[in-house]
C-alpha cells in the first residue's frame, strides 16, 4: 500500500493530509508550513471579527476536508455553504484537525493548502467552500424571484427554493435526479422565524441568503456521478 503523509503547521494549528491510512494508524506530520508559506486570507472578508473568531478544539480528529469546514464553521456559529463533487472513487484524503483556538480564517487557509481541490471565499456574507475547478452548473441557475416569509428553519426555506420551476427545469436539462439525503434535525423547540426575499440572482445566492438570514446555517451541495447515475443532494 502506497502511503503519502503531508503535514502543515500554522501557529498553534495542526492539519495533516493522510492518503490511504485508516484514522487509527495516521502518523505524525512530516513537513510544516509557517509564516509566508501559508495561503493568503480571503479578499472578500465581510467582517474581520467573524473570520477572527477562535475555533475551539484540543482533541485530535481525522476528518475529510468538508467535515473540517463544517466543524470549523459550526463551532464558531458562522453561516456557510459547501460543494462536494463525488464520483465512483472513495475519498481517502483525511486531514488531522486540532484547531486549538486558532482564528477561523487561519483554519480555512490551512485546510485548502492541505487539500488544493478546494478554495474558500466569502460571498453574500456567507463563507463558501467550492471546488477549485469551479461551481457546478446547477448552482448557476438564474431565478426570477425567491421569497419566503416567517419560516422557522433553513430546511423549510430550502423546500420552497427547490420547488421553484426554474430549479426543476434546470435539473431536468442537466439530467440530474434528486439523491437520497440523511438529515438529522438539530433545531430547537421554538427557533426564531426569519424571511428571505431575493429578486433575480442564482440558486447559489439563494442558498447563501437562507444561511445568512437564519444566522448560522450551513448548506451542503453534493453532486454524484457514478456508474451512469447522476444525482444531486442539496440540504441544510
| Together in a domain, 15 and 76 | yes
Give burial (CB, 10 Å; 0-12/13-18/19+) of 197. exposed
List, in sequence order, every residue forming a beta bridge with 5; answer none if it has no partner: 18
| Together in a domain, 110 and 198 | no
Tell me the C-alpha distance between 236 and 82, whole Å. 10
Parent domain of 9: 4-80+88-131
| Together in a domain, 118 and 159 | no
| Together in a domain, 107 and 37 | yes
| Together in a domain, 9 and 126 | yes
Q: What is the mean pLDDT of each run of 10 residues along the chain (236 residues)?
A: 34 36 29 30 56 96 97 97 95 94 97 97 96 97 97 96 98 95 67 95 98 96 96 96
End residue of a domain, out of 114, 131, 148: 131
pTM comes to 0.80
| Together in a domain, 108 and 159 | no
Instruction: Provide the pLDDT for residue 59.
Output: 94
| Together in a domain, 124 and 207 | no
Instruction: Provide the pLDDT for residue 12.
Output: 37
| Together in a domain, 151 and 110 | no
Structurally, how many domains does the chain consist of? 2
| Together in a domain, 119 and 183 | no
| Together in a domain, 127 and 17 | yes
End residue of a domain, out of 131, 165, 194: 131
Please choose, from the candidates 7, 10, 62, the residue with its C-alpha nearest in 3D space to the C-alpha of residue 29: 7
Please choose, from the candidates 52, 54, 53, 74, the residue with its C-alpha nearest in 3D space to the C-alpha of residue 63: 74
Instruction: Provide the pLDDT for residue 181.
Output: 75
| Together in a domain, 178 and 107 | no
Instruction: Provide the pLDDT for residue 23.
Output: 31
Torsion of CA 107, 113, 116, 117, to 10 degrees: -10
Amino acid at each position: 500500500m502506497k502511503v503519502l503523509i503531508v503535514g502543515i503547521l500554522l501557529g498553534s494549528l495542526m492539519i495533516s493530509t493522510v492518503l490511504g491510512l485508516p484514522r487509527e494508524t495516521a502518523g505524525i506530520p512530516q513537513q510544516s508550513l509557517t509564516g509566508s508559506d501559508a495561503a493568503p486570507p480571503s479578499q472578500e472578508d465581510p467582517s474581520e471579527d467573524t473570520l477572527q473568531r477562535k475555533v475551539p478544539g484540543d482533541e485530535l480528529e481525522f476528518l475529510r476536508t468538508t467535515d473540517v469546514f463544517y466543524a470549523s464553521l459550526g463551532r464558531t456559529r458562522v453561516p456557510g455553504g459547501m460543494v462536494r463533487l463525488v464520483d465512483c472513487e472513495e475519498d481517502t484524503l483525511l486531514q488531522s484537525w486540532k484547531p486549538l483556538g486558532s482564528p477561523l480564517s487561519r483554519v480555512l487557509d490551512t485546510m485548502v493548502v492541505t487539500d488544493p481541490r478546494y478554495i474558500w471565499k466569502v460571498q453574500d456574507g456567507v463563507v463558501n467552500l467550492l471546488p477549485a475547478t469551479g461551481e457546478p452548473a446547477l448552482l448557476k441557475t438564474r431565478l426570477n424571484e425567491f421569497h419566503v416569509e416567517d419560516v422557522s428553519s433553513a430546511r423549510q426555506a430550502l423546500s420552497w427554493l427547490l420547488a421553484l420551476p426554474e430549479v426543476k427545469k434546470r435539473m431536468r436539462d442537466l439530467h440530474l435526479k434528486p439523491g437520497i439525503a440523511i438529515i438529522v434535525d438539530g433545531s430547537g423547540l421554538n427557533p426564531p422565524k426569519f424571511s428571505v426575499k431575493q429578486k433575480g440572482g442564482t440558486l447559489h445566492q439563494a442558498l447563501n441568503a437562507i444561511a445568512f438570514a437564519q444566522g448560522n446555517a450551513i448548506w451542503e451541495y453534493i453532486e454524484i456521478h457514478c456508474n451512469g447515475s447522476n444525482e444531486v443532494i442539496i440540504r441544510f
